[in-house]
Amino acid sequence: MTARPLPALASNAWIGQFDQPLVSQQAGRLAGLRFAVKDNIDVAGIPTTAACPEFAFTPTAHATVVEKLLANGAALCGKTNLDQFACGLNGTRSPFGPVPNAVNPAYVSGGSSSGSAYVVASGQVDFSLGTDTAGSGRVPAGLNHIVGLKPTKGLISTHGVLPAARSADAVSIFARDVQTAWQVLLSAIGPDEQDPYSRELPLISTPLPQQFRFGVPDRLEWFGDEFAKEEFEKSIARCIRLGGTPITIDYQPLADAAELLYGSALLAERLEVLESFFQQHPEAVIEPVKTLLSPGMAMSGTEVFRAQTRLRALAQQAARMWKSIDVLLVPTAPTIYRIDEMLEAPIELNRRLGYYTNFVNLLDYAAISIPASFRRDQLPFGITLIGPTASDWQLASLALRFEQSESPGSSTPKNQLEGLPLALPHETASTATVQVAVVGAHLSGMPLNPQLTERGARLIKTTTTSSCYRLYALANTQPAKPGLIRVGDTGTPIEIEVWQMPVSQYGSFVAMIPRPLGIGQIETRDGELIQGFLCEPTGLEGARDISEFGGWRRFMASLASPTSTTALR
């Protein structure tokens, strides 16, 4: 596999794009999805530059996270541009050129994971990996109208990832929707003995209440951007409509913690790996990266421990807010700047972009940035949901509710369990599981889906049957259910979801299936045979053939359409 340099790309998003995507296997949770990785993440045989050609080296092995994604069926398309050494939040600090905003190229993309955000927002890949130390996995998401999932530190191994500040680093995920980002996280998490900061951390499995409390900072800073302020007020109102109650929180401890990242001796950790290179090749480090990191060379151990103690004290103060709130809501970024403005004042304007992000990893929180709206000037505006350690599933579930709350053609899920399988880190590779294909009321977001999630089932993939089936809306069923029948040459592909369930839970699940439905072998479009829901022919009395819709979800959506004249009999 070779990387093809792309110096002429107008977007400057790619550092190297592969002639052919790198594929490990065709099957898995991520099969069919294309992805890219930030160029501080190792891909075997491809130089890792960290946006510094003089620093480049060629690894002999993939980063652990890359290995896991390939093993789950994803196809790797190349490596993306970044702020040099992952130092920046704006996307202009690279010798390969600034990465523009995917919505309006006159504006910054956000950084440091600038290229990774751009290639997702522009539709070139389905998801990408960034890294996040101070907000690099969230700010680019907010500025490019995509999802940026920043997991709890240690959930994803950073082995094979060039450290920025090792104790605060996290691999982040960019996608265009919450579901995709979550499936990537499920494929990537797990302890790794090669990463000293990796940890086996069970996720909080208690759902957030339907009537949840969300924190709003008592001192919101917009740096004069009234458009951003307007959109955040709309986001607060949208969270209230979802069942949330806003609670004002003391933002001072969070702001003070954020200042420590670059304004204290914690900065010295940024030079753990780079110190000798800085000394030997100072000309290779671009401005303002050199100005920002150089003070760390002179900081003493005493100063570092003093800063760590200060951070611990602030963490204790900040932790009090979790007694009164379930989740913290902040703007992903308080404003957005044009590229020319950023180049004129690169340090101050960059600092402003991190106003709501810098504290998160220092305090060991989880976070997810999601698109909220478009401002009056048609630029994207994003919000970030923040929670305590291991709250990743809770945050992503609430983000899914927010995402679907005002999406055309979709309805708000009844609860956050629907459509977002919970990772079960306590399961081992030896845990016996069985795959089951569902076609109707057990689909993600449908009324009976909790019968799967309550049994620890995980969504593996969405696919279709072979063209040998027809789908019927059964008569007189509550909730409404379809019946899938194998008919041979007169059939058509029907949408199905494949779920993986512990064998220990399978018996209780099957026992709940009412006649005329039962379990049989379903053939997928790839020729696999998977146990799944089939209908007895006698159950079709009074049923309607709905095969033309291609699946139960589209049929049900047609019933909800204001112009629909279709009715269930």
Q: Residues 354, 441: one domain? A: no
Residue ending a domain, choose from 405, 425, 449: 405
234-263 b/e with 16+ CB inside 10 Å = b? ebbebbeebebeeeebebebbbbbbebbbe
| Residue of 296 and 422 predicted with greater confidence | 296
Closest Cα partner for 310 from 300, 320, 318? 318
> Domain range holding 13?
3-405
Whether the bond between 430 and the residue before it is cis, its omega within 30 degrees of 0, is: no
Q: Residues 542, 441: one domain? A: yes
Q: What are the angstrom distances between the C-alpha of 330 and each of 20, 181, 248?
A: 40, 20, 11
Q: Determine the Cα–Cα distance for residues 263 and 286; give it in Å rounded to an integer.
A: 20
Looking at residue 528, its pLDDT comes to 85
Is residue 418 included in any domain, yes or no?
no
Q: pLDDT tens digits for 171-212?
A: 999 999 999 999 999 999 999 999 999 998 889 888 888 899
Closest Cα partner for 501 from 493, 511, 509, 490? 509
Q: Determine the Cα–Cα distance for residues 93 and 81; give it in Å rounded to an integer.
A: 10
Is residue 464 included in any domain, yes or no?
yes
Answer yes or no: is pLDDT of 564 > 90: no
Q: Residues 157, 294: one domain? A: yes
Q: pLDDT tens digits for 480-514?
A: 889 999 998 889 999 999 988 887 788 888 888 88
Q: Residues 387, 439: one domain? A: no
Is residue 424 included in any domain, yes or no?
no
Which residues are known to be catalytic?
38, 112, 136
Is residue 568 included in any domain, yes or no?
no
Residue ending a domain, choose from 386, 405, 424: 405
Looking at residue 423, its pLDDT comes to 53
Q: Residues 467, 400: one domain? A: no
Q: How many domains does the chain fold into?
A: 2
Is residue 427 included in any domain, yes or no?
no
Q: Determine the Cα–Cα distance for residues 184 and 558; give it in Å rounded to an integer.
A: 30
Q: Residues 400, 441: one domain? A: no
Report the predicted TM-score, pTM, of the whole model to 2 decimal places: 0.75
Q: Residues 234, 380: one domain? A: yes
Is residue 412 included in any domain, yes or no?
no
Q: Residues 474, 385: one domain? A: no
Looking at residue 460, its pLDDT comes to 78
Q: Amino acid identity of 59?
A: P
Q: Residues 164, 275: one domain? A: yes
Is residue 530 included in any domain, yes or no?
yes
Closest Cα partner for 463 from 485, 486, 493, 491? 493
Answer yes or no: is pLDDT of 407 > 70: no
In the chain, the percentage of residues whose pLDDT exceeds 70 is 92
Looking at residue 480, its pLDDT comes to 87
> Residue 491 belongs to a domain with what CATH number?
3.10.490.10
Q: Residues 437, 392: one domain? A: no
Q: Which two tokens stand for residue 188?
A: 């990537």
Q: Residues 393, 454: one domain? A: no
Is residue 411 included in any domain, yes or no?
no
